[in-house]
Amino acid sequence: MAVETGAGRANGLIEALLRPETYPDPTSSVELRETHISWVFLTDRFAYKLKKPVRFEFVDFSTPEARYRACQAELRLNRRWTRGVYLDVVPVLRSPDGDIYVGTGPGRPIDWMVHMRRLPDSLRLDQRILQRTLTEAERDRLVRTLATLYRDLPPLAVEADEYRRRVEAHVRGNWEELRHAVGDLSELAVRRSQSQQWRWVRLFGTTLADRARDGRIVDGHGDLRPDHIYLEEPLAIVDCVEFRDDFRRLDALDDLVFLVMECRVLEEQQLGKQLIDAYRRAAEDHFDHRLYWFYLAYRASVRAKVLWLKARQKHGILDRPTLQRAATYLALADEAADNLLPPLLIVLRGVSGSGKSTLGNALVEELALERLSTDEVRQAMFGPSAHVHAWQAGRYQPEYRQQVYDMLFSRAEELLSDRLSVLVDGTFLEEALCERAEQVARQHGAQVLFVECQCDLETLRERLKARTPGQDAGSEADWQIARRQLELLQPISSLPQTIVDTRASFPEQIESVKASLRRILKPPAPGALPR
């Protein structure tokens, strides 16, 4: 939540800064433009940016000293991207008789402004895209310039695992915020897009760490939007993030993908594809395509989150146009996330007491999976049972087991048709049941993995003995049933599977499954990005 200090004083200051006579350069008028954290006053020839006296979680401009430091940082950092645009930092003065003016002279500084040369809106990239006036020559020049700029940015010394953890924390934070947006935004799009990103990070987070090891983390821009790019000669890129170094210290590809995302929202896709291909060649950066889609999904999620929060900030009144923009970015995040990985169908099989349910719960948390189990389906269909049935008696009769598996597959198909990843937990003793699961996955474009849980007989018997009614999601199997299941358990050597010893620690069990998934989810071949 923002804290605005001295609101009344700020209002009086803005009123004074809207008067032409306040400025040292002659001007016919003063135009005010506002951002989340700044006011920009435009005279005929110059722009003067004043930091708002706000304090957010990510920025603190609550004192004049903090605003002065931010102005100096903005001047220094943005001169990297422009020539003759960022001129100096000028004081806002109050004269002895109380008048406010900008520049030099008698009086005491009450605030500070970044003094810039005014750039024509007609040269702004977003305007050229919207008006469909961006020429092929301008597009080519922009692509070449940015590819060279990002190729030449010096790498930062960043600890690899720290970078991976930082990105992972941002992904988690986005999901936590967007969960609250359900109702305003699509619940399915939130669940699908965010779970895919989380799953990719947990499976392929070493890709992020490798980016740091390979020197791909740079001191970049941090907010590379089309409205920050002016097609001057040379190119002028303004408004990099000056208030948080960590927002600006990022993967060069991540910074460029942010611009690609904003161009896609403006329905300009050609520029983005050309830019990424040009950067790849210039920097000899042969990244896995999934990294591109991850950054696109991640950045679009950030924009969806920020716009949703903004739509909710107007004193309880929902800002519908801003909410629609949030939905646009969420849809883009959903589309990009779908390119990260296929939906997964993870089938946990093994006898009762082998540790399936415990491992299943851990995998659901680790990989953000939807969960289905035969025990839960059986209880939903037939109700809870007060006693244990013998094998193939009562609710374990073959026709009832068939009904349970039919319902399990039906529910799994519903989730897979929504492009959600699913874990199903059952004994899956027969090879035919496993083949049916593989067929369901194939029909929905999903990747299946069978995880067979095993342990020695002594451990199995001790686990079953320790069970009490109501535990283990209502499982009713006892030792006699488990022994019969062991006799009936069929091998499935022709299907993708891994065997997990459930006597191992949970981290070892989970890593065993993840390693198998990495093997079957091979990265695409290097080359140009798909359209």
pLDDT tens, the chain, 531 aa long: 343 444 445 668 999 999 999 999 999 999 999 988 999 999 999 999 999 999 888 889 999 999 999 999 999 999 999 999 999 999 999 998 889 999 988 889 999 999 999 999 999 999 999 999 999 999 999 999 999 999 999 999 999 999 999 999 999 999 999 999 999 999 999 999 999 999 999 999 999 999 999 999 999 999 999 999 999 999 999 999 999 999 999 999 999 999 999 999 999 999 999 999 999 999 999 999 999 999 999 999 999 999 998 888 766 788 899 999 999 999 999 999 999 999 999 999 999 889 999 999 999 999 999 999 998 998 888 877 655 555 555 566 777 888 999 999 999 999 999 999 999 999 999 999 999 999 999 999 999 999 999 999 888 888 888 875 555 434 445 777 888 889 999 999 899 999 999 999 999 999 999 999 999 998 765 555 655
Residue 526 lies in a domain: no
For 171, the enclosing helix (H) or strand (E) is: helix 160-179
Looking at the fold, whether 358 and 465 belong to one and the same domain comes out as yes
Half-sphere exposure of 377 (CA within 13 A, CB side): 21
Last residue of a domain, one of 72, 100, 118: 118
Number of C-beta neighbours around residue 385 at 10 A:
15
Cα 113 to Cα 460: distance, rounded to the nearest angstrom: 72
Residue 497 near residue 449 (C-beta atoms within 8 A)? yes
Last residue of a domain, one of 118, 148, 171: 118
Looking at the fold, whether 466 and 325 belong to one and the same domain comes out as no
Looking at the fold, whether 369 and 481 belong to one and the same domain comes out as yes
Q: In this structure, what CATH number is given to the domain that contains residue 299? A: 3.90.1200.10
Looking at the fold, whether 288 and 372 belong to one and the same domain comes out as no
Residue 443 lies in a domain: yes
Cα 285 to Cα 272: distance, rounded to the nearest angstrom: 16
Query: Token pair 């006597």 is at which residue?
Result: 503
Looking at the fold, whether 284 and 307 belong to one and the same domain comes out as yes
Cα 173 to Cα 197: distance, rounded to the nearest angstrom: 12
> What values do phi and psi take at 387, rounded to 5?
-150, 165
Cα 499 to Cα 315: distance, rounded to the nearest angstrom: 55
Number of domains making up the chain: 3
Looking at the fold, whether 88 and 165 belong to one and the same domain comes out as no
Task: Determine the structural domain holding residue 9 and report its residue range.
Answer: 3-118
Residue 422 near residue 414 (C-beta atoms within 8 A)? no
Looking at the fold, whether 329 and 364 belong to one and the same domain comes out as no
Looking at the fold, whether 488 and 369 belong to one and the same domain comes out as yes
Q: In this structure, what CATH number is given to the domain that contains residue 373? A: 3.40.50.300
Cα 196 to Cα 194: distance, rounded to the nearest angstrom: 5
For 400, the enclosing helix (H) or strand (E) is: helix 398-417
Give CA 446 to chain center in angstroms: 22
Q: In what order do the strands lie in the sheet with 370-373?
A: 370-373, 422-425, 344-349, 447-454, 497-501
Task: Report CA-CA distances (Å) from 256 to 115, 155, 363, 381, 441.
Answer: 27, 15, 34, 52, 35
Residue 176 lies in a domain: yes
Residue 529 lies in a domain: no
